[in-house]
Amino acid sequence: MKKIFFVLAVLLAAGTSYAADDAVLRAMKDEMQRTASRLRMDSLDKPYFVSYYVVDSSETAISAVFGAIKEDAFNATRHAAAELRVGAPDFDNSWYAGQDIDSFEPGTASLNEEDGYDAIRFSLWYLTDDVYKKSLERYSQKKAYQKKKNITELYGDLAPSERQSYFGDRKEIPELNAAVWRARVRDLSAIFRKYPKVQWSQVRFSYTPRVVRFVNSEGTSYRYWWDKVNLDITANIQDRTGLKLSDEKALAWKSLADVPAYETLAAEVENFARDMSFLVTPSTAEVYLGPVLFEDQAAAEFLNQLFVGNVSFARKPWADREEWLRYYIKTGELTKKLGMRVLPAFMDVQDDPSKSSFAGTGLIGSYPVDNEGEIPVPLKLVKDGKLVNFYMSRAPVKEFRVSNGHARGFVGEFPTPRPGNVFFSAKQEKRASPAELKKKLLALAADNGLDYAVIVRRMDAEQARKADDLLAGPVMAWKVSVKDGSETVLGGTEWSGVTFRALRDILLVSDKDQVYNYFQPGPFYYNRGFVPASIVAPSALLVQEMELKPTEAKPDRQPYLPHPYFAK
């Protein structure tokens, strides 16, 4: 416990000090200025741009399985990323992956936890020297690549930016009562003792206060706090055919104060365990082509995976092995459809990171300044169904040459254009109650000569989908009888032939909105970071036509012995 109190005290001191008294920030600025003014290797290019990004994290993690503590850990880290650019803003060493695609990442290092000015400068100097040598090498390789490929259409590598300064302080770190949370996590995990059909389960709580610092050679600097608070509920089941299924319900909050009472958390675990149990004896999956109603988490993930993820990551790096890029790096496919209709004409979309809550629920996607030091402003993405903008960093593309304040990422990945708080709105005449949505769903199915329609209430996470798929598969889907509206759990299925047309095929949406807090994975599959994001959108979406087919996953044998607890 002494270690915990010591590290929290260090973080607190950093947060309450003025910028001039922040030893870490002073070390970053002083080493950055020395690098920018004096670093040069022989007659080779000196860096024209230098930046340091440092993140302090202090995580408490508690997990439990079946009523017993599995993990009770505390970990404090301080990580730095350095970027040095050689050449000029119109052409430099950035955005070139070469043949070694899986090393396309910034230079990083672990720093000492204590605020030792000299020690931090030493670590930054050592890191800088390594990054500079690699930058020179990449710059030479990139020039040769451009000449070899005869690339003449260039948009620049670093957009201009005004000098920015942002310093957020906090007076105190909210105190975590570890003993209380051990008891809560233990009790929450014990709820699964009532569900014999669940083969494995876990409940994990984590609390991570962070402070982020940044300086660059253009004079921009910032420091701000953000807290990561999570409760992850995981369960594995095996259905009657032997197919293994797993799912995780990830609850996220902006602060400890936003975490609801134990009774609310217990209800979330109870509902999740019950729903997973339903999947053990499903109806047989078959090919389905017809209307689909997405509800709750599935509605938000439908919009996230098809829309939000595809107006992110606007620029793709150059690579000698271009055919490998799709296996290593994701790019936003919808960015190619600027000015085209990508959603139904009755829908608009705006991103506003300045909003901290919606209808009393905290939005974890809010942030005061992006990773590159740009202050975000409200960004209109879709107007009357047409894509009018997309997320941008300081890396120019053909359509836009300046940042809109959405360069985000974690220490081990380059900042890329990503969401903050995404607000989906719809015209009132296209909103309907749950009963009206279900009635319309069944009417569409009847018009198509179908005996049933499909409702999807949970979908797999984005990172679980196959490489060539736009949408991850359903986890919890129901067949809804056209005759009487009764619902039956649908067996293992996956989407077939999903295109962006599915977004335009949204017919009606719920008259209620929901907040979906989640963590968006980065574009680099081999070194993926996650950033907090929020979607505010209708809690249900009726899509005119989608195709489902039985899953290609292979079943396994059932356990030879029953679960020991339930075999008593």
Task: Decide if pLDDT at 568 tops 90.
Answer: no
Per-residue model confidence (pLDDT) at position 16: 43
pLDDT of residue 163: 95
Question: Which burial class, exposed, middle or buried, applies to 306 when counting CB atoms under 10 A from its CB (0-12, 13-18, 19+)?
Answer: buried
Rounded percentage of the chain residues whose pLDDT exceeds 70: 96
Report the pLDDT averaged over residues 185-191: 98
Residue 87's pLDDT is what? 97
Using DSSP's 3-state secondary structure scheme, residue 188 falls into helix
Tokens of 558: 């059932």
Per-residue pLDDT tens digits for 224-240:
999 999 999 999 999 99
Strand partners, 166: 222
| pLDDT score for 19 | 53
For residue 127, what pLDDT is reported? 97
Mean local confidence (pLDDT), 350-355: 98
pLDDT score of 374: 97
Q: What's the pLDDT tens digit per position in 457-493?
A: 999 999 888 878 999 999 999 999 999 999 999 999 9
> Residue 18: is its pLDDT beyond 80?
no
Least confident of 8-22, 114-128, 304-318: 8-22
pLDDT tens digit sequence for 263-312: 999 999 999 999 999 999 999 899 999 999 999 999 999 999 999 999 99
Average of pLDDT values for 367-395? 98
Instruction: Please give the average per-residue pLDDT across 324-338, as a whole number.
Output: 90
Q: How far apart are CA 216 and CA 33, in angstroms?
A: 9
Residue 20 has pLDDT above 70, yes or no: no
Q: Determine how many CB atoms are found less than 10 A away from the CB of residue 175.
A: 8
For residue 428, what are its two tokens?
């009132």
Q: Give percent of the chain with pLDDT exceeding 90.
A: 85
> Is residue 8 predicted with pLDDT exceeding 80?
no
Judged by DSSP in three states, 461 sits in coil
Beta bridge partners of 477: 456
What is the amino acid identity at position 68?
Answer: A
Looking at residue 5, its pLDDT comes to 42
SS3 334: helix
Q: Tell me: pLDDT of 376 over 90.
A: yes
Cβ neighbours for 560, distance < 8 A, ≥ 6 positions apart: none
Q: Average pLDDT over the chain, rounded to whole? A: 93
**For residue 359, what are its two tokens?**
């209808």
Q: 3-class DSSP state for residue 230?
A: strand
| Residue 55 CA to its chain's centroid (Å) | 18
Average pLDDT of the residues in 167-174: 82
pLDDT recorded at residue 467 = 78
The tokens describing 521, both together, are 């994975």
- More confident call, 12 vs 50: 50
Q: Is the pLDDT of residue 9 over 80?
A: no
pLDDT at 174: 82
